[in-house]
Amino acid sequence: MTIKIQRFYATHRKLIVLVMTIGILLAEASRATTTLPLYQFLMLVVAFGGLVPVALTAISSLRVKLVSIDVLITIAVVGALLIGEYNEAAIVTWLFLLGEMLEEASLARSRSAVKTLTQAAPQTAIVLDKNDQPHKEEVDFVAIGSRVLVKTGDQVPVDGLVVDGSGMVNEASITGEAAPINKRAGAKVSAGTILTNGILTVKATAVGDDTTFGKIIELVEEAEDSQTRAQRFIDRFAKYYTPLILLVALGVGIITRDLRLAITVMVLGCPGALVIGIPASTVAGIGNGAKHGILFKGSVVMDELTRVDTIAFDKTGTLTNGQPTVSDLIILRGKRQAIIDHAVAIERNSNHPLATAIAKLTVQRKAATAETTTIKGRGTRTVIDGHQYFLGNLELLADNGMKVSGLEETISRLTHAGKSVAILARDDQQEIAVFGISDQLRSATRSTLRRLKQLGINHLVMLTGDNQQTAARVAEQLPIDEVRAAMLPQDKATYLKQLQSRQHHVVFVGDGVNDSPALAQADVAVAMGSGTDVAIDVSDLVLVKGKLDALATGVQLAQRTMNNMKQNIAIALLTVILLFIGLFAGYIEMASGMLIHELSILLVVLNSLRLIRK
């Protein structure tokens, strides 16, 4: 029965507040035109009507051993009724319920980013059966491996691979880029994107919550439920503060023998603005970030970002575009096309940016590789047509006893030009070549690093596996404070640990599997949305659109959100202090105090909403 009543009040909250408002207006009108008993009766009806939902919530709180604000209000209203202050009881319950309604409406607005994401998620899919006959299914019931038909204007309902057809897909919901991308057989597509023209048959590889779009929504929802240190402090504070107010009210009543004053202390001591201020800021800040492709995995990440003094960047794919191309191919021995064919065969299955650059070269004969072994920090060893091929750095050749005259001079010339180098050598040294590979800085890299400096990040570091000359050539174009080159993945993590041992708070920004150790070690791990799933999984902050300038925006948003929380705490505490001063000075009564209290709650919510606008 209790649950049904609570559900009724929750469902019809606006109507109930409206009826209470009309009741109070009629009571005030009756006092001016008729007798006092009618006024008292109408106020008593309003008070009882408002007391029921508050009292039921208070009872639920007490069952879980929590002395909530509703408990204070219930005791205060019951006390006011017992001493015949029906008008005070009515106005207090009306203001409390009105405040809750306005607070709920304001918070609903601050959650608009998540709501927009959820509403944008595809709900149904056209699935093809074994006979190629289409039928509609809810996306949650589409099986992995099913073939899904996507028509012009439709959302892609699943993550998958195009197996038939072609068309232009708008991926703005995932990457932020509105320009449609041509998708053909073999291309990957993501749920939530839109086919602007053409028709596709897609084999589902992920559905529902497991899609990229689903994970974005899940990340934002989880982040909003997380707690900062400030939130945990306020929760503990409220847990002890509310019983303390009850004891203070009891003490005031015993000492002064003024029941009305004791009841007023309970009403004015409610920590409503204090309790709601932190979640309101959190929801608004994280919602704003999500709207702009910045996913905070919890408000704790925002808290940590405000304490960061050092940011370390991976180079390739983070500071640079991550799409290097082969700018030089210097043949020391062997035939050019055969070397290209063998190099492409070795690198075609690798996702390393340098390997990808080599794999883009044009082949004449597709060489068959027998076995490929990755040697961490060195390169790869591959068997082709009975010969061992080494593709990597100079250390890889040295480890295998290969010394080639003129090789070091060639490498030095390329690295001084700011290019990365990959060496191909066959075990009998009949094929030896050096690939010069260059990558361009992201367009926003310089401006982003300058903004980070302005935001108080005083130490910017570049960590890269490239050689010192290439790293230095890139760094000299940027406001970088320190460069560490020729670093293995574990070296990056070790360096971050050294910084932390010197009391630095460190962010690491990366995009690849090889960045995972450093991402795991950092105080805040930032993954580019264009990076690998592993990097995104271990990160604390994801830049969904893969744009570096979003990092500075994220830092700035975190700083504004934490400042907003502090403002809300100050507003809440100052309101309670002023109310008590006004009460004991004789300027504040129960109803007027409750009005000020509810206005303070609305004020902190409105203050939080400022985070959404920019």
Buried b (16+ CB within 10 A) or exposed e, 34-64: eeeeebbebbbbbbbbbbebbbbbbeebeee
- Distance between CA atoms of residues 280 and 385, nearest Å: 65
- Distance between CA atoms of residues 78 and 82, nearest Å: 6
- Distance between CA atoms of residues 303 and 565, nearest Å: 11
Write the burial class of residue 403 (CB in 10 Å: 0-12 exposed, 13-18 middle, 19+ buried).
exposed
What phi and psi values does residue 247 have, to the nearest 5 degrees? -65, -40
Buried b (16+ CB within 10 A) or exposed e, 241-258: bbeebbeebeebbeeeee
> In 3-state terms, what secondary structure has residue 423?
strand
CA dihedral 218, 220, 222, 224 (to 10 degrees): -150
- Distance between CA atoms of residues 291 and 216, nearest Å: 11
Q: Which of 501, 530, 499 is CA-nearest to residue 515?
A: 530
Unique residue bearing structure tokens 């993501």: 190
Active site amino acids: 314
Unique residue bearing structure tokens 């250390």: 395
In the chain the first and final C-alpha atoms are separated, in Å, by 46
- Distance between CA atoms of residues 526 and 528, nearest Å: 7
Q: Which of 31, 53, 56, 54 is CA-nearest to residue 42?
A: 31
Write the burial class of residue 558 (CB in 10 Å: 0-12 exposed, 13-18 middle, 19+ buried).
buried
